[in-house]
Amino acid sequence: MLRAPLAVDALLFFAAILLPAAPAVAGYGAIAWDKETGRSGWSGDQPTAAKAKEVALSRCGAGGCKVVMESGAKQCSALATTEDRKHIGAAWRTTQDAARLAAIANCDKTKSGECVVRFSMCNK
């Protein structure tokens, strides 16, 4: 009677050792923007909020870049800008369409020209 439970325990033990661990949920994003140059950068599905900011700032590339928005797990984010990229709107929502619409609405508050979505994405 003890043989079956021991065999099952042994099988589970070896399966735990041999199977790779499931990857951690990556769910942080950020948007960075440089007001002077209009450059922007974004990140998504990063393991930590700090890494998300770091990636967005590095993609922005300019020394004047600042993080203008952060997003978490299962959140979608978007950035809208005017053509000259000097006015922006950033937003996060639970769906990509809602994030895009909110980014345009936020951009419209300060615009000097038509606002267009430049990028949008959803975290896992």
Closest CA to 80 of 54, 99, 57, 95: 99
CA angle 59, 62, 66 (to 5 degrees): 80
Q: Would residue 80 count as lying in a domain?
A: yes
| Tens digit of each residue's pLDDT (9 = 90 or more) over 63-117 | 899 999 999 999 999 999 998 888 999 999 999 999 999 999 999 776 667 899 9
Question: Average pLDDT over the chain, rounded to whole?
Answer: 84
* Digit-coded pLDDT (tens) for 12-70: 454 444 445 444 567 999 999 999 999 999 999 999 999 999 999 999 997 899 999 99
Is 59 inside a domain boundary? yes
> For residues 121 and 95, what is the distance between their CA atoms, to the nearest angstrom?
9
Amino acid at 63: G
Determine the residue type at 122. Answer: C
Number of domains in the chain: 1
CA distances, 52 to each of 3, 21, 44, 106 (Å): 50, 23, 7, 22
pLDDT at 111: 64
5 lies in some domain = no
Predicted TM-score of the model (pTM): 0.75
pLDDT value for 113: 76
Does 77 fall in a domain?
A: yes
Determine, yes or no, domain membership for 11.
Answer: no
Contact 39, 60 (CB under 8 A): yes
Residue in this structure with the two tokens 């890494």, named with its chain if needed: 51
Q: 42: buried, middle or exposed (CB in 10 Å: 19+, 13-18, 0-12)?
A: buried
Say if 109 falls within a structural domain. Answer: yes
| Within a domain: 7 | no
Higher pLDDT, 9 or 29: 29
Residue range(s) defining the domain that contains residue 60: 24-122
Q: What is the C-alpha separation between 106 and 90, in angstroms, rounded?
A: 7
Residue 87 counted as domain residue: yes
